[in-house]
């Protein structure tokens, strides 16, 4: 009893890892065989970023139970700080080292922003986090649109007017160019890096959930007063969850930024935050595997549906609804489970017998 049930959560996690690994292998094979369209190949790194975004947002929304409407803001901070670093470094360091450092910087800077926002807001009760993260996302976007930052022999130069106002010597380079963002980013991100980062994210989040810290976080979500009554430091555990969530979003931003030649702030706006939230809601609050699948399917779908351009949004909406139904309705779930079983073992007879038994039970 004991062992069987412990391995049940472990088994659930292993299935999640397996899905990701198999998907990666299949895509690698298909890509080697030239079976992927160009546009789909171009989506592979964004898919990885969005999976990391959805899983990390699920940590705040589903596991901690706090609403965040500015997750793209942390992605933006991670993207800009990491791209700033890699452009400033240029080719002074080996590419792999630049990439690792850029990822670490994006993660750390977004984590620091998470702490800065969390400290004042997470001690409050109520939906303040939603309002403040919403504002944060918009403010970050507008600030980054306005900033000019350059670097020369004497160090950093910052202006909010234009590039000339930076007053740099002739060795100076403008790195952040206001609304034009950061150009000339080295496109170091690869699908394999994205895949590894998805796995790292999953290990962090799944292990966290099934640990003492994760239980403390979920207890706050389920009943704050009871959590306090058994000696849980509510603010501390909210901070831990929110900071990890923000830091992982920063990592996703760094990954994403280095798949583009140009990083602009308007890519990480309110719509992106809401899109990620849709992934989380569709995949299921607190359901990490659901977030992975929803993010992957809903990112690829608009691309796949390009040929039906007229009906694209209609089909997208229908898929959304079907996924929600699938998640919520136990009947649909058990139906799909039995169809699956039938396909797997050919137990047609058993299937119909069970249906009949169910029907007679319903009749009684």
Q: What is the contact surface with other proteins in residues (CB under 8 A)?
A: 2, 5, 8, 203-204, 207-208, 211-216, 218-219, 221-223, 225-234, 240, 286
* 173-177 and 148-152 beta bridge pairing: antiparallel
CA distance 313 to 297: 14
Q: What does the block give as tokens for 49?
A: 């970023």
Q: Measured from the CB atom, is 211 or 329 closer to other proteins?
A: 211
Q: What is the CA radius of gyration of the chain?
A: 23
Q: Measured from the CB atom, is 241 or 265 closer to other proteins?
A: 241
Q: Measured from the CB atom, is 175 or 227 closer to other proteins?
A: 227
In the chain, at which residue ranges do the beta strands (DSSP E only) sit? 148-152, 155-159, 173-177
Task: Say if residues 68 and 133 touch (Cβ distance below 8 Å).
Answer: yes
Smallest distance, Å, CB 75 to other proteins?
22
Smallest distance, Å, CB 226 to other proteins?
4
For 319, what's the count of Cα atoms within 13 Å in the CB-facing half-sphere? 21
Q: Measured from the CB atom, is 142 or 233 closer to other proteins?
A: 233
Q: Measured from the CB atom, is 63 or 282 closer to other proteins?
A: 63
CA distance 157 to 88: 13
Smallest distance, Å, CB 241 to other proteins?
10
Smallest distance, Å, CB 319 to other proteins?
27
Tally the residues of the chain.
Answer: 364
Question: Where do we find the tokens 């150009």?
Answer: 183
Q: Measured from the CB atom, is 226 or 313 closer to other proteins?
A: 226
Task: Say if residues 282 and 323 touch (Cβ distance below 8 Å).
Answer: yes
Smallest distance, Å, CB 210 to other proteins?
8
Smallest distance, Å, CB 142 to other proteins?
34
Smallest distance, Å, CB 12 to other proteins?
13
What DSSP state is assigned to residue 160?
Answer: S
Helix (H, G, I), strand (E, B) or coil at 182: strand
Q: Measured from the CB atom, is 121 or 202 closer to other proteins?
A: 202
- In Å, the largest CA–CA distance within the chain is 88
Count of beta carbons in the 10 Å neighbourhood of residue 349: 9
Helix (H, G, I), strand (E, B) or coil at 262: coil
């Amino acid at each position: 009893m004991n062992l069987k049930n412990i391995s049940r959560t472990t088994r659930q996690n292993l299935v999640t890892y397996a899905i990701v690994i198999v998907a990666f292998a299949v895509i690698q094979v298909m890509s080697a065989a030239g079976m992927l369209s160009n546009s789909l190949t171009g989506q592979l790194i964004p898919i990885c970023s969005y999976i990391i975004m959805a899983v990390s947002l699920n940590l705040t929304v589903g596991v901690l139970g706090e609403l965040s409407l500015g997750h793209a803001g942390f992605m933006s901070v991670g993207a800009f700080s990491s791209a700033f670093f890699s452009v400033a470094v240029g080719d002074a360091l080996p590419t792999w080292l630049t990439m690792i450092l850029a990822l670490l910087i994006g993660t750390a800077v977004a984590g620091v922003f998470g702490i800065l926002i969390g400290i004042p807001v997470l001690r409050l009760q109520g939906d303040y986090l939603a309002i403040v993260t919403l504002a944060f996302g918009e403010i970050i976007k507008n600030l980054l649109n306005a900033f000019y930052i350059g670097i020369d022999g004497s160090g950093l130069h910052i202006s909010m007017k234009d590039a000339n106002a930076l007053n740099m010597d002739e060795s100076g380079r403008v790195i952040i160019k206001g609304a034009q963002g950061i150009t000339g980013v080295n496109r170091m991100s690869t699908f394999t890096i994205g895949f590894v980062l998805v796995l790292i994210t999953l290990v962090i989040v799944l292990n966290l959930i099934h640990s003492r810290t994760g239980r403390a976080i979920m207890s706050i979500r389920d009943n704050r007063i009871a959590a306090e009554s058994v000696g849980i430091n509510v603010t501390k555990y909210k901070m831990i969850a929110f900071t990890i969530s923000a830091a992982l979003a920063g990592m996703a931003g760094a990954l994403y930024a280095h798949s583009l030649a140009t990083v602009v702030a308007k890519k990480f706006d309110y719509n992106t935050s809401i899109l990620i939230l849709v992934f989380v809601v569709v995949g299921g609050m607190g359901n990490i595997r659901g977030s992975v699948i929803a993010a992957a399917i809903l990112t690829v779908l608009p691309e796949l549906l390009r040929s039906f351009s007229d009906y694209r949004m209609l089909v997208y909406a229908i898929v959304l609804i079907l996924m929600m139904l699938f998640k919520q309705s136990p009947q649909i779930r058990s139906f799909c489970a039995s169809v699956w079983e039938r396909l797997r073992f050919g137990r047609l007879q058993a299937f119909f017998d069970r249906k009949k038994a169910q029907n007679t039970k319903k009749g009684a």
